[in-house]
Amino acid sequence: MALLPILRYPDPRLHTIAQPVGSVDDEIRQLVADMAETMYEAPGVGLAATQVNVHKRVVVIDVSEDKTGLMALINPEILERSGEQECEEGCLSVPGIYEKVTRAERVKVRALNEKGESREIEAEGLLAVCIQHEIDHLDGKVFVEYLSSLKLSRIKSKLAKKARITA
């Protein structure tokens, strides 16, 4: 397994729309393993392949307290959304920034697992938010882009300043 470099917003590669995975093979399983290791090390609860500059529709998520609930979602698609919730979100590609975003409270998703088996998942709460957040990455969207243009401008300035300080 290997730690993968995470792209930082506003890197334009984060806006690349991920391509569907044709078949779940050893290469995809290795990608899932590397992404999981990267996510846990960061630490985070979700990571999309787009964030590590691999433009395939692959997501890893683990919202469990003890890090035993790893899920791989390959070619995920949201079938149903219901309700509404406002949650504070963060992102490994936008380090140190946390903002409230409105999302569906419940989602039903179809995806392949790392064995290539199709499954449907009904999720609510944090898991639903995480699934929506990661699928947004696959569609080339970062959570801060849901915010007002003023907030987004301030975030970009803050990140640019932080990048200059650490450079």
Q: Residues within the annotated binding site for Fe cation?
A: 91, 133, 137
Give catalytic status of residue 120 as yes or no: no
From 89, 99, 114, 134, active-site residue: 134
DSSP 45-80: SEEEGGGGT--BSEEEE---TTS---EEEEEEEEEE
**Cβ-based neighbour number of residue 131 at 10 Å:** 26
Assign 140 to helix, strand or coil. coil
DSSP 2-31: ---PPP-TT-GGGGPPPBPPS---HHHHHH
DSSP H or E run through 118: strand 118-124
CA-closest candidate to residue 38, choices 9, 61, 10: 61
Say how far residue 133 (Cα) sits from the centre of its chain. Answer: 5
- By annotation, the residues acting in catalysis are 134
